[in-house]
């Protein structure tokens, strides 16, 4: 169990050098993922962090407790890797939801496994989810993610919405030459799923597989807001 947080000074908001106050926190629960998206990582040869190097549940709870009570954080987004691969995730969400200054809890996921866990996560205190979905064409989904799992993602979207996780949002990454501006189906993703979402652009010379690897082996592009 995490240690109780002692009484301290009033919350001091997180402010950057431009004077902007930040009230949201992203917590990465794992670096592992069950997809191999071409704009994110190589197809093989990945060295995952040893599990002892990941934040434990107690450490995550204490981090969020400090952030909400001392730094003015009001929203926590659980990310990865793929956070649904984290063992005991509903239990961790329940502990975060039970904190004295519990934040709004959201999850960013690729949607695989969401159909199995959406109801349990909602009951534990999760408010909403963002699902990464770059295309509705099965063959293009497989080309981008290197996995044939589009049906699982769509099932997860339906179950999450039925479970009351709201709003369910869609994140889309158009990649030039793969599913970019000329791919009308990319623009239809949110319209067809009837869900809100955001679009990020990855500029790359040709196919996303030609992006250069970063120090951690993940492929790096130039993500900028889509105009």
- What H or E segment, with its residue span, contains residue 161? helix 150-163
Whether the upstream peptide bond of residue 167 has omega within 30° of 0, thus cis, is yes
Q: How far from 65 is each of 90, 114, 179, CA to CA, in Å? A: 17, 26, 41
Contact status, residue 146 vs residue 43, Cβ threshold 8 Å? yes
Give which of 163, 161, 132 is closest to 149, Cα–Cα. 132
- What H or E segment, with its residue span, contains residue 95? helix 89-97
Quickly tell me which residue has 């130039």 as its tokens: 222
Looking at the DSSP assignment, which residues form a beta bridge with residue 14?
22
Q: What is the pLDDT of residue 197?
A: 53
Quickly tell me which residue has 């993703």 as its tokens: 189
pLDDT class for 208, splitting at 50, 70, 90?
very low
Angle at 180 between CA 179 and CA 184, to 5 degrees: 75
Enter the pTM of the model.
Answer: 0.79
> Residue 215 pLDDT > 60, yes or no?
no
Quickly tell me which residue has 């807001």 as its tokens: 225
- Lowest model confidence (mean pLDDT) among 11-15, 188-192, 211-215, 219-223: 219-223
Give which of 179, 182, 177 is closest to 206, Cα–Cα. 177
The tokens describing 222, both together, are 């130039």
Q: What is the mean pLDDT of residues 17-35?
A: 93
Q: Which CATH class is domain 14-225?
A: alpha beta
Contact status, residue 54 vs residue 104, Cβ threshold 8 Å? no
The tokens describing 119, both together, are 């109801």
139 contacts: CB under 8 Å, gap ≥ 6: none
Most confident region among 41-45, 140-144, 148-152, 167-171 by mean pLDDT:
148-152
């Amino acid at each position: 169990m995490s240690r109780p947080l002692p009484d301290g000074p009033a919350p001091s908001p997180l402010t950057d050098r431009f004077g902007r106050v930040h009230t949201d926190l992203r917590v990465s629960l794992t670096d592992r993922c069950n997809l191999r998206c071409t704009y994110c990582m190589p197809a093989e040869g990945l060295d995952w962090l040893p599990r002892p190097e990941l934040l434990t549940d107690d450490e995550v709870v204490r981090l969020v407790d400090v952030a909400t009570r001392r730094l003015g954080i009001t929203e926590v987004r659980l990310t990865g890797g793929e956070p649904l691969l984290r063992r005991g995730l509903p239990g961790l969400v329940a502990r975060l939801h039970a904190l004295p200054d519990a934040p709004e809890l959201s999850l960013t996921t690729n949607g695989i496994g969401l159909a199995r866990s959406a109801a349990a996560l909602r009951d534990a205190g999760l408010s909403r989810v963002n699902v990464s979905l770059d295309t509705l064409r099965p063959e293009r989904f497989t080309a981008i993610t290197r996995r044939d799992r589009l049906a699982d993602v769509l099932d997860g979207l339906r179950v999450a919405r039925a479970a009351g996780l709201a709003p369910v949002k869609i994140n889309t990454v158009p990649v030039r030459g793969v599913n970019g501006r000329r791919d009308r189906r990319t623009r239809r993703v949110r319209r067809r799923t009837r869900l809100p979402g955001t679009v990020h652009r990855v500029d790359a010379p040709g196919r996303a597989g030609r992006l250069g690897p970063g120090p951690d082996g993940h492929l790096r592009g130039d993500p900028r807001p889509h105009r």
